[in-house]
Structures are given as structure tokens and as C-alpha cells.
Amino acid sequence: MRNQVHMTEDFENLLAYNLYNQTGYSNTEDRNNIKKMLKVGIDNILTEKQRKCVIMHYFEKKPMKQIAKELGVCPSTVTRTIQLAKKRLSILSVFL
């Protein structure tokens, strides 16, 4: 069973802002809906590796190099993994 992700407000705002830039939504209700969708997306859309990297980087505030060392991969792999995670989460904008 996957661990549920509890996002910090900063991370929610960052992801909501990224989707806002892509979709043009700006009111509070829409932003709150986007945040809810992102929580569901992190739990259900991302792979385990993507979820770990996103949590470690955005929630635990770990630098890419430290994440890479802990996971036994290259820093560039962590960067790509997070980029892919953000891309996967961006598909949620289709449902707005």
C-alpha cells in the first residue's frame, strides 16, 4: 500500500502555480480544486521513484545531490525523474 502524501502549503502553491501558468486559472476555488487534484495525482499517477524524489525534494527540502546519493543514482537521474513527475502531474490540467 502506498503512503499518502501530505503536501506542505509551499509545495501545494508551487504545483498550483505551475498548473495556473499552463491553464490560466486564477480564482481561489479553482486553485483549491487544483491542489486537491495534485494530492490525488501524487498518490495515484506518479511512480514510486517519482513520488520518492518529489517528496524528498519538495517536502523534505533535500538537494538533488543528496537525493541521488540516498537512492544510489546520478543527480541527473533525480532531475529527470522530478521533471517527468511534474510532466505527469501537468496532465491533470485536462480535467479542469
Residue 16 lies in a domain: yes
pTM, rounded to two decimals: 0.64
Flag whether pLDDT at 58 surpasses 90.
Answer: no
- Mean per-residue pLDDT for 35-41? 82
Cα distances (Å, whole numbers) of residue 95 to 14, 19, 30, 58, 89: 19, 12, 12, 24, 11
The Cα 66–Cα 62 span in angstroms is 6
- Residues 61 and 4: their CA atoms lie apart, in Å, by 18
pLDDT category, 75, cuts 50, 70, 90? very high
Note whether residue 2 is domain-resident: no
What's the domain range around 81?
A: 9-95
Task: Tell me the angle at which helices 75-90 and 64-71 cross, rounded to the nearest 10 degrees.
Answer: 100
Give percent of the chain with pLDDT exceeding 90. Answer: 44
The total number of structural domains in the chain stands at 1
Does residue 28 belong to any structural domain of this protein? yes
Residue 3 placed within a domain: no
Closest CA to 21 of 11, 31, 36: 31
Higher pLDDT, 62 or 6: 62
Q: Is the pLDDT score of 70 beyond 70?
A: yes
38-41: list long-range contacts, CB under 8 Å, 24+ apart: 38/7, 38/12, 38/89, 38/92, 39/5, 39/7, 39/12, 41/88, 41/89, 41/92
